[in-house]
Structure 1
């Protein structure tokens, strides 16, 4: 079985004399001819090549036996990434695309295995920028232990894509007995956040430079599947979600409505970096509404909460985990939070994007 990937790669290397010598993406790179083949062979496969990526076919072919050996259900997800700017402290659009799709699989309890990658490139995009994004994407996939096994490339006219857009889809396998669900939160469940909140959204605000802000904030973009695997092995988990667009507020409101429970948060327990909190105070943002790209929220039964928290804190991607709230009896579908004055306020769904184009 090991011989076929070697043969594929040898055949692929024989047909790779072409090099991209132009400094910018042109319409020819999306036209299906030699320029496009050179772009694929030199730039794309140069960064993403792996034994599962067969460029002689238009689809990936996955062994059912290999999938079945890892669990009893498939998880399948897709997402598009239009972040501006393409590069930001702590990440870039390529790294973000891999991590976002891996995490969407992970919070189903799945082991991520395979990704697809579709690129929409704007005419005039520097080839060096494309190489850098793809190199980052390849490194992120290798770090997460997933393979990018199929893809597509399109080129649009200048001004139509703001550089590049990336769409990734992912396939993973869910182990038997693991089934977190937004409908499974119960009164008494403890809500745990895996780390500091709002880092990604705050990093994008600063990286855009529109407001002339100076702050050292890194995006939290990172894969979470190993953290999830440790968590579900240690404790029953009723619900899991990565808190991306809309932040923790969006996740908890969805859970409260889907499960028919109330959820109450402790404001003093929210793990927010001082620099992010200060940025929110200046701009009028709510850290609970800011996007995260490497943090999850879990709901676990109260009797297992201490164990779940300890396991998360012992993992390098969950060292700042904190209990932030609880499910409770009350008006179903309502999320509230204690205030510093002894009262409570409603934590509503954000009305819209506080900051568009963050992922």
Structure 2
């Protein structure tokens, strides 16, 4: 719940804005709330008689032709990346005007994606709203966990693992929304669009949850943004000293065509995990057994400067990352 910004041609609120207008205004305190709104924490944890309930919500307003597929993945990823098992979805669909074809497309995608991931839509709201420029989908996902995993508990000497690669979501969105600006053949576009099928991190989160000290799915701001958020939340340095951050050739091609950095663009589909050093090799092996590519990209260290940072090639990144995709819709 570290961001209340729209996923589309907008940006996240700054940490200062979140603290002033959001985190300090949370209504009545409740003793059953274990984890509430705070920077870089994308899900809440609530103690219930049935266990710890994990809740997350996220809006989507881009890649309209596939907005339902993106929305389900994004909302359920936040629950999974907190150690939860996503089960239920509440769906709000807002349309610029009532268009049965658009509504049919969105709800078909919601149904099919939830069915594929084993989720149940339990309610929501649908209407047309004057003033919208494009459909806006907001989904809330809920699920239970026996072990909530925060972004705040990465520990020095942990290893930093990344699944799949950087810019998975961005590649698919570029293929969907910017075909006229990218010079590529049909097969390459089809390959890029297939990345929409890889946006869920439920499988890798299930593998990593038992040993993870922290987990985070990079969304706005990409892999670099996700790393900065973990560093700030856990008050540590994340030092990229392992293999280079993996970027698929299609992602490099499309990002180069649109002059954006693949490490700083929409990153759903990847999972960042910190694990104790003696668990890293076993975790990578377990992911490989599930058919999930993963890379050890660095380690967690104590803060070595004035603020927590992502350290790469001797350069320290301490500030939040502005996603490079936003300017493309201006």
Structure-2-length-normalised TM-score: 0.75
Unaligned runs of 5+ in 2: 1-47
Partner of 1:162: 133
The 5 A counterparts of 1:10-21 are none
Partner of 1:43: none
Secondary structure at 1:323 match in 2: strand
Secondary structure at 2:109 match in 1: helix
- 2-side partners of 1:290 and 1:267: how far apart? 21
- 2-side partners of 1:263 and 1:186: how far apart? 10
Structure-1-length-normalised TM-score: 0.70
- 2-side partners of 1:173 and 1:121: how far apart? 31
Are 1:174 and 2:151 counterparts? no
* Residues 95 and 309 of structure 1: CA distance in aligned 2, closer, same or farther (over 3 Å): same
Partner of 1:45: none
- 2-side partners of 1:106 and 1:357: how far apart? 30
| Displacement after TM superposition at 1:348 (Å) | 5.2
Aligned with residue 59 of structure 2, among 58, 63, 80: 80
Partner of 2:92: 118
| Displacement after TM superposition at 1:293 (Å) | 2.0
- 1-side partners of 2:123 and 2:98: how far apart? 25
Partner of 1:222: 199
| Displacement after TM superposition at 1:351 (Å) | 4.9
Is the Cα–Cα contact under 8 Å of residues 193 and 295 in structure 1 kept in the other structure? Answer: yes
| Displacement after TM superposition at 1:225 (Å) | 2.2
| RMSD of Structure 2 on Structure 1 (CA) | 2.3
The 5 A counterparts of 1:1-359 are 68-69=49-50, 72-83=51-62, 85-87=63-65, 92-123=66-97, 125=99, 127-157=100-130, 160-175=131-146, 178-209=147-178, 212-215=181-184, 216=188, 217-218=192-193, 219-220=195-196, 221-233=198-210, 236-266=211-241, 268-316=243-291, 318=292, 320-329=293-302, 330-331=304-305, 332-338=307-313, 344-347=314-317, 349=319, 351-356=321-326
* Residues 293 and 276 of structure 1: CA distance in aligned 2, closer, same or farther (over 3 Å): same
| Displacement after TM superposition at 1:112 (Å) | 1.1
- 1-side partners of 2:95 and 2:257: how far apart? 36
- 2-side partners of 1:209 and 1:118: how far apart? 26
Q: Deviations over 1:313-349 (max 9, x none)?
A: 2223x2x2111111123224011113xxxxx333454
Q: Deviations over 1:274-308 (max 9, x none)?
A: 23223334544222211122211100010100011
Moved more, 240-249 or 279-288: 279-288
- 2-side partners of 1:206 and 1:225: how far apart? 24
Moved more, 267-276 or 146-155: 267-276
Q: How many residues align?
A: 271
| Displacement after TM superposition at 1:75 (Å) | 0.8
- 2-side partners of 1:210 and 1:348: how far apart? 34
- 2-side partners of 1:124 and 1:103: how far apart? 29
| Displacement after TM superposition at 1:170 (Å) | 1.5
Is the Cα–Cα contact under 8 Å of residues 98 and 140 in structure 1 kept in the other structure? Answer: yes
Unaligned runs of 5+ in 1: 1-66, 339-343
* Residues 296 and 253 of structure 1: CA distance in aligned 2, closer, same or farther (over 3 Å): same
| Displacement after TM superposition at 1:99 (Å) | 1.0
Is the Cα–Cα contact under 8 Å of residues 79 and 168 in structure 1 kept in the other structure? Answer: yes
In our comparison, the structure showing a higher alpha carbon Rg is 1
Secondary structure at 1:324 match in 2: strand
